[in-house]
Amino acid sequence: LLIVQQEQLDGDYSKSHYVVSEAIKVLRENAHPIPFQLKHMFILLHTYHLVKTVARRGDHECTSRLLLRLVPAHIGNFPRHRFQLFISTIVECQKAGLKASSYKCAELLWSNKELRMQLEKSKFEKKVQSIIRRPNVEEEEQERSLCPITGSRISCMDLECYSSRSKELLPMCVVSGKHIVLDDFCTCPISGFAAIFSEYLAYLRGFSDVKENENAEGVDPVFQKPISVKDLSRASPEDALRYINEYNMEE
């Protein structure tokens, strides 16, 4: 963890992401519980990684929600890219109709002397000033899906279950950043991480020029190793619940 934290301070988030992902994979393969801090670090680093992937697909809603997972609460984990993350969040939230979130981030950026100096040297100064001067508190409602533990409808981006007697963690889909769902669950054949089956299929088909290509090939979203649509299979709800139980085991 100390090595990963140092890599983050140096701005090498790709290396940090690989080290954390590999550590979790090894622990899982040897049936060892995964410490909460390691899981939390993976969520942050992989969310950062997903932002670029999802943004390339033009999904502003999902991109903005991923960014809001990082900004402002966990911006300190990305010290070399604080300004870029703030700007990306402000812009993406505007595009997704999350005006209130965009305004909040714009205000926070403006109130930070160091970040404001960077803003004044950038092409985004007038845009941020305009958002602050004419605040808009409109906010599009979050997409909801069934909690895999309680069955209640929660934000698809929630990674914790608050309705159960004790707080439990919800595994994150490594393709979309959303929490998994019982009836559309799979694990990545390469990394062993959880995913939403339909999201994984769509992701791999995105590598092909042919829509609904059953032979589409791409790279897995964690280790970037070759994988095909044929390698994927939807798991049962029972398998999903078993994965959740193991995911919540800690040392």
What domains, with CATH codes, occur in the chain? 2-133 (no CATH), 144-247 (3.30.40.10)
Quote the CA–CA distance of 231 and 251 in Å, as a whole number. Answer: 32
pLDDT recorded at residue 163: 65
DSSP-assigned letter for residue 172? B
Q: Pull the structure tokens for residue 117.
A: 């100096």
pTM of the model: 0.94
Where residue 88 falls among pLDDT bands split at 50, 70, 90? Answer: very high
pLDDT tens sequence across 16-29: 999 999 999 999 99
**Under 8 Å between Cβ of 138 and 100:** yes
- Cα end-to-end span (Å), the chain: 15
178 within 8 A of 203, measured Cβ to Cβ: no
pLDDT for position 12: 85
184 and 196 Cβ atoms separated by less than 8 Å: yes
Three-class SS of residue 86?
A: helix
| Helix (H), strand (E) at residue 174 | none
